[in-house]
Chains A and B, each alone.
Chain A
Amino acid sequence: MACVGLQSFPVDVEVDVADRGFPAFNIVGLPDKAVGEARERVRTALVNCGFAFPQKKITINLAPADIPKEGSAYDLPIAIGILVANEDIVLKEKGLFFGELSLDGSLRHTRGALLLALFAKKVEMIRIFVPVESANEAAIVEGLEVIPVRGLKNLVEHLRFVKRIPYLKTINIKKLIETAQPEFDMAEIVGQETAKRALMVAAAGGHNILMSGPPGAGKTMLSRALPGIMPTLSVEETMEITRIYSSAGLMQPGEAVIRRRPFRSPHHSISLAGLIGGGSRPVPGEVSLAHLGVLFLDEMAEFPRSVLEAMRQPMEDGKVEISRVAGRMVYPASFQLVAAVNPCPCGYLGHPKHECRCTTRDVERYKRRISGPILDRIDLHINVPAVEAEKIIGNAEKGESSLVIREKVMKAREKQLKRLTGTGIFCNREMKNKQVKEFCRLDSGGVRILRLSMEKFDLSTRAYFRVLKVARTIADLEGSDDIQSVHLAEALQYREKVF
């Protein structure tokens, strides 16, 4: 099996051991460097496991010959092919072989095991042989016989019916997800009640959020807690995320699924391909690794403009299309954006104790670095002021835990789902202007407040629609069918400010 992006297709490993010609060992079929080096790994592993390596002309053909092959997963099928050709074993059962060999003949954790399993299921190839450390990933697919292989020796014994390896039971993903605890608990964050509230609103409506505040105010900590208050993953969502992580080789050895919503925080020196994905060998970028989770851009104003602009398509469509000479790949990239910025280059503008050392010029230039189109896609804007310790100590109570907040968030999501049935969208963030007009009606008091605010705060039409969407989410959180002026007033506090 080979992968292009998240698509898989079968690869036949043909092995020919010829008696005539000089002894040689060649791999053809557009192998990359890692596949080419399988020669040395396979030869050494076979010898170290006590098999005779035939001193003949060996040719391996990876068919179809015109698709580039990459990675180390072809080691095992090549080794088994040689053993069969050498008549060391006789294959009596059909199955897919997959895995990277170590020099001593044991099998290593190999990326893409889940993609293999899904492919096997699709082509109704029930039995698959995968390295023991990657086997859990494959075992989440129902209706397969996943055989965890420790090393070449065990596999040969299994195939010779000397000592059979029992196949794995299908792993119950649902239970794994439900038992996953949030990595960061909201209750551990002291103070910053406004920001916590805003995050809850963001989670409830799927809104993107921008936090502005001086260094040390807790922006990073707050955003880390966001995945934990987002709705629990469904089985399908977990599979989607795990597929991406498996193909990128980011699964830990022995890990079955990604149990929590991902949290990705790329550094601002990231390249375009790093964020969006691509490169000559297709790999998912940070936007795809944050699929169904949180993409946190700390110091957003420091990111190169070209990199930020490239996020516009994924933010709009929930996926990225990468076109290269080799072909077109589509990766899912439906993430929630959390951006953090300092109020000025030195970070201390408006800080109660630190003095800001920037000129007004510096500050203006800094603010211009984030373009309008990106800001337009961010529904909530909040200030996270520095916490003055003495005002907090002894005063603050422990806040709500992430699990309690998540309950509320999920209730609000349910309301949205019910209302949005048939529209093809799932949360308030995704509402288009037409739907905003339909679902976000205001009472006369609300209309008045909104009109006054538009004038006073100089809001654009886009900002107007964003305020309404957020107000809808707040009403959903409070369990109210109508948007009341309280909800609207709160939404207006999250309006776009020049941070």
Chain B
Amino acid sequence: MERILYKGNIDLLLDKAAKLAIVGSRRMSDYGQRVIEKWMPTLVQRGVTIVSGFMYGVDQAAHKACLENGGKTIAVLGWGIDMKVSAADEKLYQEILEVDSLIVSEYEGEMLGNRASFPQRNRIVAGIADAVLVVEAAEKSGSLITARLAMSMGKPLMAVPGLVTSKVAEGTNNLIKRGKAVMVTSVEDILREMGLVNEQLEIGFKPEKMSNPILVALESGEKSVDELSLCLKIPVEKVMEEVLVLELEGLIEVRFGKYLKKF
């Protein structure tokens, strides 16, 4: 590579902050989204810079979650640095520049992305990062190319295990099964892999009001209003009132009609 083009704050590339690449499928599931949302606050708090490929799905979810938590992120484009991004991506693009983060590409002008440019992009992602985390990836996907590149560069490779029935977990689960990637099931695992743990364990803070029966019921997994009503034996209209209060307090959230506890 002869040169690299950039927009934003180039210092991010060279500073001492630990850099974690988060890569994965465009067809990210709700599970992938939740994993990223759950771990990101800690990663940002520990000063980790998030590197990814600005593609929709896992990549953009990682960028977004990072910015939401006030972190720094590096987006590596698989197309020309000046190409106009689609309207849907415009907001994220601007936001990255506004908060002094970085967008880089090795392609000039308004070149379109193609079959070759994306895998090429992946080598930069792997190259910049100190470690690579694969969140969700199908077998034979671009994310696995990044994973392979990271291994050949001798960088730590981590993968999040997924449901064995899910297509977007085949890639990650196989990486783990074949011993190529370290299985991570918590953000502490990532920090340990990256050498960011100063051995003393943090005491988790859990000042939760466990008295609320709805919160207790949601401990075992997400539930719809109907299911809550059945298991707590209170009428649906009552449940709706209670969950609204909890939602307003920010203790639970709703996705596709099912309520789940926030972390």
CB contact list, B54-103 vs A, under 8 A: 56-57, 60, 88
Within 8 A of A (CB), among B239-257: 240-241, 243-245, 247-248, 250, 254-257
Determine if A197 and B88 form an interchain contact, defined as CB atoms under 8 angstroms apart.
no
With A383-B256, A385-B256, A453-B248 in contact, is A391–B240 under 8 Å at CB? no
* Cα distance, A213 to B225, chains bound together (Å): 14
Contact B166 A355 (CB under 8 A): yes
Q: Which of A413-454 contact B (CB under 8 A)?
A: 449, 452-453
Bound Cα distance A347, B127 (Å) = 39
Interface residues on A, range: 35 or more
User: Quick one: closest B residue to A343, CB to CB?
Assistant: B256
Q: Is the CB of A453 within 8 A of B244?
A: yes
Q: Say yes or no for A193: interface residue by CB 8 A criterion.
A: yes
Closest A residue to B227 by beta carbon equals A391
- Interface of B (DSSP majority class): helix
Q: In whole angstroms, how far apart are the Cα atoms of A493 and B241 in the complex? A: 8
Stretch at the interface among A282-290, A356-364, A402-410: A356-364
Binds B, one of A70-78, A145-153, A176-184, A484-492: A484-492
- B residues 216-259 near A (Cβ < 8 Å) are 224-227, 229-230, 236-238, 240-241, 243-245, 247-248, 250, 254-258
A254 at the B interface (CB under 8 A): no
Find out whether the CB atom of A356 lies under 8 angstroms from the CB atom of B257. Answer: no
Tally inter-chain residue pairs, CB-CB below 8 A.
Answer: 88
Flag if B241 contacts A489 (CB, 8 Å): yes
**Measured between alpha carbons, how far is A358 from B238 in the docked complex, in Å?**
35
**Which of A194, A197, A358 contacts B224 (CB under 8 A)?**
A194
Q: Evaluate whether A350 and B258 lie within 8 angstroms (CB atoms) in the complex, with A355-B29, A360-B56, A361-B88 already known.
A: yes
Contact flags A185-197 to B (C-beta < 8 A → 1, else 0): 0000001111001
- Neighbouring B residues of A355 by C-beta, 8 Å: 29, 165-167
Q: B27 near A: Cβ within 8 Å?
A: yes
- Chain B CB within 8 A of A20 CB: no
Q: Using Cβ atoms and an 8 Å threshold, which residues of chain B touch A194?
A: 224-226, 229, 236, 240
Q: Which residue of B lies closest to A477 (CB)?
A: B237
Does B26 reach chain A (CB closer than 8 Å)? yes
Give the shortest distance, in Å, between B239 (CB) and chain A (any CB): 8
- Asked if residues B230 and A486 are in contact (CB atoms below 8 Å), the reply is no
User: Does B28 belong to the interface (CB within 8 Å)?
Assistant: yes
User: Which residues in B have their C-beta under 8 angstroms from that of A175?
Assistant: none
Q: Are B244 and A350 in contact (CB under 8 A)?
A: no
Q: Are A359 and B27 in contact (CB under 8 A)?
A: yes
- Given A194-B225, A197-B236, A391-B227, verify A360-B28 contact (CB < 8 Å): yes
| Alpha-carbon gap, A418 to B182, bound state (A) | 69
B256 touches A193 (CB 8 A): no
Which chain A positions have C-beta within 8 A of B254? 383, 497
Give the residues in chain A near B240, CB-CB below 8 Å: 194, 489-490, 493
- Residues from chain A with Cβ under 8 Å of B27 in the complex: 357-359
Whether A456 is near chain B, meaning CB under 8 Å from some CB there, is yes
Given known A384-B257, A395-B230, A396-B230, contact A356–B29 (CB-CB < 8 A)? yes
Task: Say if the beta carbon of A349 comes within 8 Å of chain B.
Answer: yes
B257 touches A385 (CB 8 A): yes
The reply to whether A350 and B255 contact each other, CB–CB distance below 8 Å, is yes
Count of B interface residues, CB-CB < 8 Å = 34
- Which chain A positions have C-beta within 8 A of B15? none
**A395 to B247 CA separation, bound complex (whole angstroms):** 27
Judged by a CB distance under 8 angstroms, whether B199 is at the interface is: no
Q: Are B248 and A449 in contact (CB under 8 A)?
A: yes
CA distance A212 to B255 in the complex (A): 12
In this assembly, does B2 line the interface, its C-beta being within 8 Å of a C-beta of chain A?
Answer: no
Smallest Cβ distance from B152 to chain A, in angstroms? 29
Contact of B245 among A364, A384, A489 (CB under 8 A): A489
Is B11 interfacial (CB 8 A cutoff)?
no
Contacting B237 at CB < 8 Å: which of A382, A391, A490? A490
The answer on a CB contact under 8 Å between B247 and A456 is yes
Mask, A458-499, CB within 8 Å of B = 1, is: 000000000000000010000000000110011011000100
Q: Does B30 make an interface contact (CB < 8 A)?
A: yes
Q: How far is the CA of A208 from the CA of B241 in the complex (A)?
A: 22
Residues B226 and A192 in contact, CB atoms below 8 Å apart: yes
Residues of A within 8 A of B245 (CB): 489
A350-B259 Cα distance, complex, nearest whole Å: 12
A361 to B88, alpha carbons, bound, how many Å? 9
- Expressed in whole angstroms, the Cα–Cα distance for A213 and B226 within the complex equals 14
Query: Nearest CB to that of A455 among chain B residues?
Result: B248
Q: In the complex, which of the residues A364, A391, A474 has the most CB atoms of chain B within 10 Å of its own CB atom?
A: A391
Contacts of B225 in A (CB 8 A): 193-194, 493
Tell me, rounded to whole Å, the shortest Cβ–Cβ distance linking A464 to chain B: 15
Which residues of the other chain, B, contact A350 by a CB distance below 8 angstroms? 30, 255-258
User: Is A456 within 8 A of B167, CB to CB?
Assistant: no
Q: Are B166 and A193 in contact (CB under 8 A)?
A: no
User: What are 21 contact pairs spanning A and B, CB under 8 A?
Assistant: A193-B226, A197-B237, A350-B30, A350-B257, A355-B29, A356-B29, A358-B27, A359-B56, A360-B57, A364-B88, A383-B254, A383-B257, A384-B257, A385-B224, A385-B226, A385-B257, A449-B244, A453-B244, A456-B247, A456-B248, A492-B244
Q: A359-B56, A485-B241, A490-B237 are in contact. List 8 more A-B contacts (CB 8 A).
A: A192-B226, A194-B236, A197-B237, A360-B26, A360-B57, A490-B244, A493-B243, A493-B244
Q: Which A residues are closer than 8 A to B by beta carbons? A: 191-194, 197, 212-213, 343, 349-350, 355-361, 364, 382-385, 391, 395-396, 449, 452-453, 456, 474, 485-486, 489-490, 492-493, 497
